[in-house]
A and B are shown apart, each in its own frame.
Chain A
């Protein structure tokens, strides 16, 4: 798979062959926090800790978290729509410049939720060579792969 920045700030993800097309399409599932408290706690952390923080945290849950949830869902919907370009005959995804922030957000959701769900540590990410034998190993691969895309999207022209 290749990622190339275009002069207008857009990106082309090309040569998205199997299994990378499948991994890209799994971004929403990777980011899903519905069934996992650790993932949910990481995507929606408390804004304050310690003594007397209860009231602020309760207000945060009521007023701020729904806005964040909406923002994250919007970002994911943008990425899902872009990935609709992929088909049996088309292995290229064009990401307009105005969608780059959504991609960065959605990829980060996926990476953080995966890391929380599988308790991935810095040592897991540094370990070489990679072996994919378990679901947890595959989660590390996905975190790495999504990071590769993020790093490319973050590069200055």
Chain B
């Protein structure tokens, strides 16, 4: 007879497994060239990809730069803050 093990995911586990977005918000003071440089430096983006996200921030007011686990999202937000960009993290899908 097969034994069945039931695993109950706690509310905390569920919350931790929800992916998080790293979002950069527009600040007209930051230079476009500077923002592009930061995206290349922090995320390893190509020049084209960094520029694409920079233009999205500039034109749409925000851009989602990365999505994934919370700890990594916190790391990226800290990195972006160290370059003085306006960055936040939000639960993906909210």
Task: List chain A positions with a Cβ less than 8 A from chain B.
Answer: 42-50, 64, 67-68, 71, 104-105, 108-109, 111-112, 115, 120-122, 125, 143, 147, 150-151, 154
Contacts and interface: CB of A to CB of B under 8 A. Distances in A.
B87 interface: yes
Interface residues of B, number: 21
Contacts of A151: 31, 33
Contact of A71 (B29, B77, B82, B86): B82
Contact of A150 (B34, B86, B87): B34
Contacts of A42: 27, 86
Contacts of A154: 31, 33-34, 37
B85 to A, nearest CB: 9
Contacts of B27: 42, 112
Interface in B6-45: 27-31, 33-34, 37
Interface in B28-85: 28-31, 33-34, 37, 74, 77-78, 81-84
B90 A50 contact: yes
Contact of B88 (A48, A104, A115, A121): A48
B89 A68 contact: no
Contacts of B29: 111-112, 115, 120, 125, 143
Contacts of A150: 31, 33-34
Nearest to B20: A48
26 contacts: A45-B81, A45-B87, A45-B88, A47-B78, A47-B89, A48-B89, A48-B90, A49-B88, A50-B90, A64-B78, A64-B81, A68-B78, A71-B82, A104-B34, A105-B83, A105-B84, A108-B30, A108-B34, A108-B83, A111-B29, A115-B29, A121-B28, A150-B33, A150-B34, A151-B33, A154-B37
B88 A112 contact: no
Given A50-B90, A64-B78, A125-B28, A108 B33 contact: no
B91 to A, nearest CB: 9
